[in-house]
Structure 1
Amino acid sequence: MTKHLVKAELHLHIEGGAFPALVEKQAQKYNVDTSSFIKDGSYIWSDFTTFLHAYDQASMLFKTEEDYALLAETYLSSIAAEGAIYGEIIVSTDHGIAAGLSADAYIDGLIAGMEAAKAKTGIESRIMLSGVRHLGVDRVIAAAEYGAKRRHPWITGYNMAGEERNGRVADFARAFDIARDAGLGISIHAGELCGAFSVRDALDIVKPDRIGHGVRAIEDPELVARLADSGTVLEVCPGSNIALKVFPDFKSHPLRAFYEAGVKVTLNSDDPPFFHTTLGKEYEIAANEMGFDEAALNTMTRTAIEAAFVDEDTRAALMAKL
């Protein structure tokens, strides 16, 4: 059992952290029918495309600053109850804009929820702004430009998420240059739906501090060795990988192979209610399905805090809680 372990999370899409019960309350508030994407208290989807549809439909039910404050506070409080002392949330201003909010109002709402969760539970959190790959190069660059312009101590990272099969990493390189020049930590989704080549492209072109997923790197032993040598951190999401059929089962998942090869790995939940998981369950999966002992799980948490996009005083305070 891992309930007593201190935990930390680096890879959570905030709209993907909206559990169906909360979404259905929002639907009642706005008089929206959820039957096309929620059934019997669970999200309905069958592949990555329909998953994105359900995700976007749920996201559209958060329409005000107060809605987003509620979402952030609810999610962060939930992982704090599972033992988390830190959580990074991946956010896309495009979702807020699609719901009718300005980018600033969207971010202000999230920050209010983060502050409320910290006041209530003590959990520390930060924002990783994200460009959505399948919305095109211009939107991804615009997200980076917003991150460079919107200065806030809790906006500390930049990522690119979305449909990995759209375009080449090189198409989006400018966005990462903008974000890096603004002092933001860099992560990128790679090696999830696409193979090892996408991880290699990310390393060559983006030179990220961390990679979201990265698990398909296991297909190339030389690339695994490169990840270990470079110290690039993988934000691994086992439950998500199995749900999306990146691997057929936990026995075939490469988390242990990466760990034993010296790759720095962390545990994360990605979009937990869509994949019937939580951050706490990811630690349970690692222990019960993959055979990691407490020392190894603690190492992953320590790696997450070492790789967190936070100032050094905050990092030291988090480390003291391990």
Structure 2
Amino acid sequence: MARTRAKRIWTEPFLTDWRAFPKLELHLHLEGAAPPALVRRLGAAQAIPLDGLFDAAGRYAASDFTSFLVAYERMSRVFAKPETYRELAEAVLAEQAAHGVIYTEIFISPPSLGFTSAEWLTMLAAIEEGANAAEASHGIVCRLIPVVIRHHGPEKALEAVRTVLAAPRGRMRGFGLAGDERRFTAADFIRPFAEMAEAGFRLTAHAGEFCGPQNVRDTLDLLHVERLGHGVRAVENPELVRRLAEEAIALELCPGSNIALGLYPDFASHPIDALRRAGCAVTVSTDDPPFFHTTISDEYLGLEAAFGYGEPEFAAFNRAALDAAFCEPALKTSLAARLARRERQPEA
């Protein structure tokens, strides 16, 4: 049965406190990172029923990928007012900064959730305000990746593209595809991806999570992405793994998410190490951290316990993330300097 929490296997006292280690994260859904306390407060203020959304401990409740998607969309209703996104963005970025994240790329999906063009502009401005506040207070920098939701279909995707292209670019740098990988095919989204590429957006897509290597191959061939969200199922095909390594297709890996949703039983079973050893460009992210009861620090702890990773491996993951980041060259130079000069603080 699929789990909703990655099994903690790092209780040994000798393991490292990774919170102060500088990190980059490339795969984070804005609404999916919403703190439960914020969602409960906004739900109460707007009289939005949230019965069954949380477990007895007050955490998001889901038993498998399908129920996770349902819970995700229920939770997102508290953000139906575009102005709520300022508080959401600031809260999410503050939480990341507390775990040493200095740069993040955040997926935003309201265009596919029914926002009008005017509401999209208001929402986007609110996110920019929240990002400004978090950067001023915590030093964390973000860029945005609007995504279309696969299971909402290609027509909704085209509507979302029109909405995004009519908005100021701001922090938006990339474009992606998220949602239920079992619905529709990569071929159904060729047109929206082509239009966004023509407009100068860089491309990523969720693939190879719940569907196998063929879906990864189709996503590469038809959508011409330079990064893959998850992509772990590629490990089932050695030829495809070689292609990923040779073409330097960055993998936005989220081990805790994969474990929580039942793809793998624990960190030691996750293919991240096999992909790393095969020469793939591996990065580490959290996906929807409060849903999966994880943080980026927890991801590092799990990988340390499972594979003995330390500073060299995690520094390499962050260099790979910097190389694959969709941000502008000047910001990459600044981030590289921060990675070089910031040292992990000793464990208290």
Gaps of 5+ in 2: 1-15, 340-348
1:148–1:178 CA contact under 8 A, matched in 2: no
Name structure 1 gaps, 5 residues minimum.
none
| Equivalent residue for 2:26, pick from 1, 7, 10 | 10
Cα offset, 1:150, TM superposition: 2.1
- Cα distance, 1:100 vs structure 2: 11
1:212 to 224, 229, 235: 229
Give the whole-Å Cα distance in 2 for the aligned partners of 1:112 and 1:55: 24
The match for 2:35 among 19, 29, 36 is 19
Match of 1:90 in 2: 107
Aligned pair 1:79/2:118, yes or no?
no
SS in 1 for 2:27: coil
Is 1:66 the counterpart of 2:65? The answer is no
CA shift in 2, pair 1:32/1:145, >3 Å: closer
Is the Cα–Cα contact under 8 Å of residues 63 and 99 in structure 1 kept in the other structure? no
- The superposition leaves residues 194-251 of structure 1 with CA deviations (integer Å, 9 ceiling, x where unpaired) of 0111111111111211000000000000000100000000000000000111112212
**SS of equivalent to 1:194:** coil
Paired residues for 1:240-279 under 5 Å: 240-279=257-296
Partner of 1:135: 152
Cα deviation digits, residues 20-57 of structure 1 (max 9, x gap): 11111112211233222112211121111111111111
| Percent sequence identity over aligned pairs | 40
SS of match in other structure, 2:83: helix
The alpha carbon displacement at 1:262 in A equals 0.5
**Contact map agreement 1:60 1:98 (CA 8 A) in 2:** no
Task: Give, as a single letter, the amino acid of the residue that structure 2 aligns with 1:283.
Answer: Y
| Partner SS for 2:78 | coil
Distance 1:300 1:203, change over 3 A: same
Residue 146 of structure 1: how far off its partner (Å) = 2.8
> How far did residue 64 of structure 1 move?
2.6
The match for 2:133 is: 116
> Relative to structure 2, which stretch is displaced further, 97-106 or 273-282?
97-106
Distance 1:153 1:68 in 2: 15
State the shift of 1:266 in Å.
0.5
TM-score, L = length of structure 2:
0.89
Whether the aligned pair in 1 keeps the contact of 2:244 and 2:280 (CA below 8 Å) is yes
- Cα 1:101–1:242 change in 2 (3 A) is farther
Q: Give 2:10's aligned residue.
A: none
Given the alignment of the two structures, is residue 183 of structure 1 paired with residue 200 of structure 2, yes or no?
A: yes
Q: Which residue of 2 aligns with 1:29?
A: 45
Q: Which residue of 2 aligns with 1:296?
A: 313
Q: Which one of the candidate residues 304, 318, 322 is aligned to 1:305? A: 322
Say whether the 8 Å CA contact 1:159–1:187 is kept in structure 2: yes
Would you tell me which structure has more helix in proportion to its own residues?
1
Instruction: Indicate the structure whose relative CO is greater, using CA pairs within 8 Å and at least 6 residues apart.
Output: 2
Residue 168 of structure 1 is matched in structure 2 by 185
TM-score if structure 1 supplies the norm length? Answer: 0.96
Report the residue type matching 1:51 in the other structure.
Answer: F
Superposed CA deviations along residues 140-160 of structure 1, whole A, max 9, x for unmatched, are 122233333323231101000
- Preserved contact between residue 82 and residue 119 of structure 2 (Cα < 8 Å): no
CA offset digits 1:77-115 (Å, max 9, x no partner): 111111111011100123663699721122121111111
Q: Tell me which moved more, 236-245 or 285-294.
A: 285-294
Q: What letter is aligned with 1:11?
A: H
**How many pairs align?**
322
Question: 2 CA distance for matches of 1:191 and 1:96?
Answer: 24
Secondary structure at 2:28's aligned position in 1? coil
1:133 partner letter: R
**SS of residue in 2 equivalent to 1:68:** helix
Residue equivalent to 2:333? 316
Letter in 1 for 2:208: G
Paired residue type of 1:52: L
Contact 1:145 1:178 in 2 (8 A): no
Tell me, in whole angstroms, the C-alpha distance in 2 between the residues paired with 1:274 and 1:48: 11
Describe the shift of the 1:81–1:148 C-alpha distance in structure 2 as closer, same or farther (beyond 3 A): same
